Amino acid sequence: MTKNSMNKAFNSLLPLALRYIGIFCLLFIPGKVFAQESQPTPHVYPEDFVTDYLADCRELAIAEGLLPEDADILCQCTIDKFQAQYSFEEYEQLSQEAKEEVGYDCFDELLFEDEETSG
């Protein structure tokens, strides 16, 4: 096959390839964009509550033996999870057991992350 015939073959296939790429973009990319837009946004708790929560949580976590940087990660994880799952009013109604469950989940994530970085 000569270079000229290869160029002709490529040029004849190019519109077909572009058509398939265009169809793919029309069918699949908007779904990805819409899926991202439909994700729930976290609830925003009062700023003073979040500040106090993080300070109290950090103090308690350090008293329980966590390093300060790990305490910060743990406490940020818990407030992020609460805000993602519950309105402020719902959070205030949560049982201590439900709040502790979120803490355990975040502690497991922190522990797993530490094992990955040290191993």
pLDDT (tens digit, 9 = 90+) per residue, 48-97?
Answer: 999 999 999 999 999 999 999 999 999 999 999 999 999 999 999 999 99
CA–CA separation, 17 and 24 (whole Å): 11
Task: Look at 93 and 119; give whichever has higher pLDDT.
Answer: 93
Say what the pLDDT of residue 111 is: 84
Is the pTM value of this prediction over 0.95? no
Percent residues over pLDDT 90 in the chain: 56
Question: Nearest CA to 48 among 56, 40, 37, 59?
Answer: 56
pLDDT at 27 over 80: no
